Amino acid sequence: MKYKLIQKPNPLEPKVQRKWYASPVKVGTVNNYQLSKDIAARSPLTRSVVMNVIEKMGDEIPRYLTKGYSVNLSDLGTLRLSLSSEGVDTPEKFSKENIENVRIIFTPSPELKRTLLNVQYERTE
């Protein structure tokens, strides 16, 4: 994995000298077509079948999440929803308008975490 160094301030101490931190270098984006092509090359399935499954997952995952399920994607990890809301003094004062933000939380699987422990790093300029 390639990384570069960037200089950032500490938001809690803005007057302190900025420090250098590693930042991953993004080399591009892989879309569903490329992903399906690569998966098909490593399986007996055709690219169009794999593409169809990926597209259907894009339909089904949000449906399960919004029904209150977490979605376990085996060796990849688990997706779940999280809410942020404005606090109120009593339950009677709460309404759905108090909900300010819905986020998708991804928790990587132990297998994915182990894979990331073995990443080789290379500094770029």
- Tell me the domain boundaries of the chain: 70-118
The letter for the amino acid at 64 is Y
Work out the widest C-alpha separation in the chain, in whole angstroms: 59
| Per-residue pLDDT, 16 | 86
6-29: average pLDDT: 89
Please check the confidence at residue 73 and state whether its pLDDT lies above 90.
Answer: yes
Q: List pLDDT tens digits, range 42-53.
A: 999 999 999 999
pLDDT at 119 over 90: yes
Helix axes 47-66, 32-41, angle to 10 degrees: 120
3-state secondary structure string, the chain? CEEEEEEECECCECCCCCEEEEEECCCCCCCHHHHHHHHHHCCCCCHHHHHHHHHHHHHHHHHHHHCCCCEECCCCEEEEEEEEECCCCCHHHCCHHHEEEEEEEEEECHHHHHHHHCCCCEECC
Quote the tokens at residue 22: 């590693």
